[in-house]
Structure formats: C-alpha cells, structure tokens
Chain A
Amino acid sequence: MNDDIDQLSETFAAHEHLAPDAADVLVRAKAIARSYQRRRWAVRATGGAVLGAGLVAGGIALPGRLGHASSGQTVAVQPADGGTPSPSASSAVYTQDQDWAAYFAAGYDYTDAQQLAALWHDSSDIGTIKAQAGLKLLEGQELPIKPSGTPETKTDAAQTAFFAAGYDYNDAVTLGKVWHETDITHVKVQAGEKLLAGKTLPIKPSGGTFVEGQKDSGTTGGSVATPTKEDAAMSEFFAEGYDYNDAVSLAKIWHESDVFSVKAEAGQKLLDGKQLPIPPSGTALTASEKEQDAYINAGYTYADALKLGNIWHETDITQIKNAAGQMLLDGKKLPIGP
C-alpha cells in the first residue's frame, strides 16, 4: 500500500518541474491586478454605483424568470457611458438573476447579506435578501454597509459573459489560435467584451451551457467516467459509516483478498437492505447528508444549485441540493447537467 502511495507522491513530484515560469506569471498577474485596481478606483469615484459591469457596461441580456419578470422573458439593461449608472435602470424590470448578479458584482457576499438582514430586521432567507439588495443597487440606491469584497471588474464581467455564453477554456485556446494570441486570459476577456457588445465570435461554444436533450456526462469536467453500479454501492458503504478498516475486517470474514471488491459487495448488500456482519466504525450520514453527498458526487456545484433554484423557483440552496440529491438517489435526472 505504501508503495502505491509513494508512486502517487513520486508522480506529483516528478511533474512539479512543469510549473509555469514564476516571473512570467507574476508580470501577468500584476497587469491583471492593475486593471482590477483601476476598476475599483473608478467604482469608488462614482460612489459605488457602477454595478455589474457585465450587466451595465455592455447591456447584457439575461433570461427573465421568477419574481420581477415572467418566465422566459428577456430583460435588457441599457449600457452606461463612462461607468455612470444607467438612467433607465430605475424604471427597468429585473430578474432575480440580475438582482443577484448586481449584488455579487458590487463585491457583497453572504456575510454582508446576513448583516443586511439584521439591519433591515428582515427574516427572509438570505437568497431573498441578496436579491432585494441587488435590486436596490440596480436602481441606483446605496446599501447601508460597504461590501466585504472587491466589486466585479470589467475584466471579470467579460469573462463571466464568455463562460455564460457556453464557451470554455478549450474554446479560448481555439480562439487564441484564430487571433494569434497566446495569453488565454486575454483571449477570454477579449471574447467576453465582444459578446457584451453584442458581437458574435468566430467559433461556436463547445460546452458550459446545458441544452435540452444534450448528452450529459454525469460527472464534473475532466472526467471520462460515468458513475457505475459499483460506484453507487461503494458510496453507500462509506455513507453508512464504514471505512477502509471495516472493509479489511469484512475481507477477513469473507475470506476475500480484494478489499475494493469487498467494499462494493458490502455496499450492494446495504443497498439491498441487508445487514453486514460488523457494525460501522464511523457514523452513518444523515438523510440530508446523503442527499448532498449524492449531489456533490454527481458533479453538481453551488452554481448549479442556483440554476436549479431558478427552475424550481426556490432560493434556499440547501433545500435545492437536498431535493436534487434525493432525485439523483432515486435514479431520476435533473433538468440541468452538472
């Protein structure tokens, strides 16, 4: 066992030398930081009113849903000149997506939302608080507290637009070749700015956005494997509180030499409602933890939970993850891919 662990450690160590050049990275990072800083100063100079460059600067159109806009409706936010707030903003109808985007783009986070809830004596869930705060920002109002984080820069917004349109890292590499540009970050920003300006890119997006009927890999990016029955059995083994040492004990009892197979076999017995000859060393997951475990193991993320919330008209992320996890445990498919 130690030999195999050593082999992994050796593999990692043997490839450390592929690390990019530190001096090059530092120069580029400082250049990006300068652009972030300039944007930050611009935000401060305009009283923090330049919100969500992705929303304001380029007039991005987001699909409408929930609350303020009816489902499927598209609401365009007018572009602003020189970083000033859109004059039409106060009369616009915003989606909850836009409210949240404005909230996060201004540098506010979850903790800020908790503070706002306390200040406003509002017991609504945090998602609603964020949306309310985001709406105020979109309408040009100031919030009673300063954001904990840094407001989103134009660069951030451009990259967000790039990925939101379904493009991914590979697409950026392809675009880099088309544009003879080797700085992939710059390519993403350039491409995102074009998208924000309503222009099209020379290539179609290859992934990222889920299209109805699209084949779903069922795993996170980078995977070529799909969950198997054996995987499900093994997950159940661990979820019930059993661990490697338990599997070794079971292997001894069952006179098996392959501990991996033992875990899968034991997990399958648990899935079939049978009992194992030994109790688990650890504590079994609660139903809620199992649901969230299923959700995470299927490759879904927090961002996916937000998307599911949009579809299901639910803002409590924990509830969304639990509901989604339960569906996965029941063998059902979610309306979006991971």
Chain B
Amino acid sequence: MTFSEFAAARLPSLLRYAIVLTGDQGLAQDVVQEVLARAQVRWSKIAKTDSPDSYVRKMVLNEYLSWRRTWAVRNIRAVGERLIDLGDRRSASRDHAESVVDTDDVWNRLATLPRKQRAVLVLRYYEQLRDDEIAYLLDCAPVTVRSNASKALKTLRLQLERQPITVAGDV
C-alpha cells in the first residue's frame, strides 16, 4: 500500500478519531497534518508494520498527549458555544434536539478532562479497546487505565456506577 492509497482510505477515519480525541477542530487538523507529514516521510518503514493504520493512529494519540498546551481550559466556552450553535442547526425535531443537547452537554464536559483521562474514554468507548490494550498504547499499567477512567466518569457525572445495587436476597 502506498502512502497515497493509505491516506485516501484512512484519512477520514483518522480525522474522526482526532476530533473525538482533541475535541477541537483546529487542534485535530494540526495534529493529523503533522502526523501525516511525518508518516509520509517514514512511509517505507510504516508500510512494513503489521498494521500501518494502528501505527498512525498511535502517532495521532502520542501527538495529542504530548501537545504541551493549555488550549482546552481556555476553549471550553468557545467550543461549547460553537457546538450549541451547531446543535441548533442540526435539530430537526424536539426529540432529536433533546438528544443533541445531551450529547453536547457530555461533549462540553469531556473538554474539562485531563488529556490522558479523555484519551482513556475515547480508547474505551470510541475505539472499543480493552484496558490492557489501552495500557499498552498509553504506556501505563492497566490499573492506571481503570483509575483514569473512573475519575473521568466521575467528573462527567454520568452516574455510570451510581445505579442502585441489588443486594442478594433483597428482591
């Protein structure tokens, strides 16, 4: 597979991954174009790997995690406002509008997470990876993945683990 073939086939998916990971269009573009440029230069080596797609996706993840910026803190409001505008344009029915508001609310809360916590959620619930796979990608212990996910979910107040537990014999 040539670099051009790879880009034609995988770039849209990479960009979707990047926007979900970064939560910011400008940063997603910045990250992917930097990664793609480096990937093109090193393509002969990348093409020989078992999965060039996984390799480049990891490059995107690393680029995002190593981005020494505080953009998210300052862009929370801007991103939120922009998404609400988009949500208004997208809403075609009341039910759909409610759904958009819900997802936009979660999206805005995601912007408040530390990068690694956000990455864990994206890798778990968007990339559908197991904790040991995430641990490998993030170069940390699986326990750290679980810990980060738990803290992130707490912050998001999704009440993921707040559902009543049915105590044996109580039913």
User: Which residues of A approach B to under 8 Å, CB–CB?
Assistant: 1, 4-5, 7-16, 18-20, 22, 24-26, 28-30, 32-33, 36-37, 40, 149-150, 163, 168-170, 173, 184-185, 206-208, 219-225, 231, 234-235, 238-239, 241, 243-244, 247-248, 251-252, 255-260, 263, 282, 285, 289, 293, 296-297, 299, 301, 303
24 CB-based A-B contacts, threshold 8 Å: A1-B161, A4-B153, A7-B158, A11-B107, A16-B20, A18-B28, A20-B15, A22-B11, A32-B33, A37-B41, A149-B42, A169-B30, A169-B69, A170-B75, A173-B26, A207-B70, A221-B67, A221-B69, A225-B112, A238-B143, A248-B165, A257-B165, A293-B147, A299-B116
Q: Establish whether residues B163 and A29, one from each chain, have CB atoms under 8 Å apart when the complex forms.
A: no
Q: A29 CA to B40 CA in the complex, in Å?
A: 9
Q: Establish whether residues B106 and A7, one from each chain, have CB atoms under 8 Å apart when the complex forms.
A: yes
Which interface residue of A1, A206, A219, A220 has the most chain B CB atoms within 10 A? A220
Residue of B19, B104, B158 near A19 (CB, 8 A) is: B19
> Which chain B residues lie closer than 8 Å to A255 at the CB level?
167
> Which chain A residues lie closer than 8 Å to B168 at the CB level?
252
Q: A133 CA to B159 CA in the complex, in Å?
A: 53
Q: Establish whether residues B102 and A257, one from each chain, have CB atoms under 8 Å apart when the complex forms.
A: no
Q: A172 CA to B106 CA in the complex, in Å?
A: 28
Residue of A13, A239, A293, A303 near B140 (CB, 8 A) is: A293
Task: Determine if B66 is an interface residue (Cβ-Cβ < 8 Å).
Answer: yes
Across the interface, name the chain A residue whose C-beta is closest to B110: A11
Task: Determine if B1 is an interface residue (Cβ-Cβ < 8 Å).
Answer: no
Q: Establish whether residues A36 and B41, one from each chain, have CB atoms under 8 Å apart when the complex forms.
A: yes
Q: Establish whether residues B25 and A18, one from each chain, have CB atoms under 8 Å apart when the complex forms.
A: yes
> At the interface, is chain A mostly helix, strand, loop or mixed?
helix
> Which chain A residues lie closer than 8 Å to B125 at the CB level?
5, 8-9, 12
Residue of B25, B69, B106, B158 near A20 (CB, 8 A) is: B25
Given contacts A16-B19, A25-B11, A173-B26, whether A297 and B144 have CB atoms under 8 Å apart is yes
> Which chain B residues lie closer than 8 Å to A13 at the CB level?
126
> Which chain B residues lie closer than 8 Å to A297 at the CB level?
144, 147-148
Task: Determine if B7 is an interface residue (Cβ-Cβ < 8 Å).
Answer: yes
Given contacts A20-B29, A235-B147, A244-B146, whether A1 and B163 have CB atoms under 8 Å apart is yes
Binary contact readout B1-39 vs A (1 if CB under 8 angstroms, 0 otherwise): 000000100011001101110010111111011101110
